[in-house]
Amino acid sequence: MTTEKIIGFRRRAAILAVVFAVLVFTVLVFAGPAAAQFEFDTRDVTKSGTTAAEFLRIPVGARATAMGGALTAMADDGTSIYWNPAGLANASGAFRVEYADWLAEINFGFISVVLPTSFGTIGVGVTSMTTQEMDVTTVDAQDGTGQKFDAASYAISLSYGRALTDRFSLGATVKVITERIWNSSATGFAFDIGTLFVTPFAGIRLGAAILNFGTKMQISGDDLLIRVDIDPNSRGNNNSNRAHLSTDEFDLPLTMRVGLAGEVFQSDRTRLTLSVEALNPNNSKQYVNMGAELGFLNDLVMIRAGYAELFLDNNLRSVTMGAGLKYRFQALTFIFDYSYEVQKYFADVNRFALSIHF
């Protein structure tokens, strides 16, 4: 390694260290007073479980999850639809599919298609979460009524990203969200917006995104129809009147993400990229994700590791790791990604993804 490369490596590492320290300090400064304000009065009250469509918070992409979910400033493929639509400006045409055996035997999948055009890049993505069939139980039939039910959640997204300058990109996503359990369902609409800026400091990227800004969701359906006696104290009433239960409306999981990423080492055939981001969701306290990606042989082989939900009390996710393999065959490029996520209360999650770039 030459003296110039050593100096460049130290310079990038120093810049990233300073930026990371500033980002973490900012999170702690804003999160600390807020937590202290409610230390005595509402110590045990959290925002968990206060929003609908919680599946929108499940991370997408084996590359991203292997890096602890710190991809807002690195998104450059079909997963930009989820992380930061501005990343589509740097994406090539591709088809992507992935699968994860999520918690409690829940199936989680994501499919996307990205098409660059002369006026920007368009992306279409479908996120799905489905359960296996389960027995219907009631108070009187606690061992099951003989009926079966299932549940499913879907989000269909249409995204657009464009580079406004050689350093600044902007993107947006419109999505339709549906959640269903047996014969009842809820539908909502959401909007994402993101930006991506390549700074003049050693190529460090700054990404920011606001996700899931949209309508409230309220569930309705045949399962909410019941028989009631409107006056049980009077004899002779018709006790088979049909009534419709009304549920509350719930907000979507609105989240703001701000991330930084950059190469601390880069040569002709090897690179090391670090990424960190801070999150401020409306159904949880603030926390930080961080990750690293090491690419060999011009990214033919990639090794990744990260840590998710740093500084979050009672965090469910922690250590993440994974790998990727890129293979070029004529005009097509195949990318295989795998990630492993440690879970606190459930079985650890394995995720597999395949991308075909054209």
Q: Which of 267, 260, 269 is nearest to 292 (CA)?
A: 260
pLDDT value at position 239? 65
CA distance 171 to 209: 9
Name the pLDDT band for 29 (thresholds 50, 70, 90): very low
For the chain, the helix, strand and coil percentages under 3-state DSSP, each to the nearest 5: 15, 50, 35
Higher pLDDT, 336 or 44: 336
pLDDT value at position 142? 87
CA distance 112 to 132: 24
CA distance 123 to 128: 17
Q: What predicted TM-score, i.e. pTM, was given to this entire model?
A: 0.83
CA distance 213 to 176: 12
CA distance 264 to 165: 24
pLDDT value at position 242? 80
pLDDT value at position 138? 85
**Residue 189 · residue 175 · CB < 8 Å:** yes
> b vs e for 49-75, b when ≥16 Cβ sit within 10 Å of the residue's Cβ?
eebbbbbbbbbbbbbbbbbbbbbbbbb
Q: How many residues does the chain have?
A: 358
pLDDT value at position 39? 46
Find the mean pLDDT for residues 243-257: 92
Whether pLDDT at 88 is above 90: yes
pLDDT in tens, 112-164: 999 999 999 999 999 999 999 999 988 888 888 889 999 999 999 999 999 99
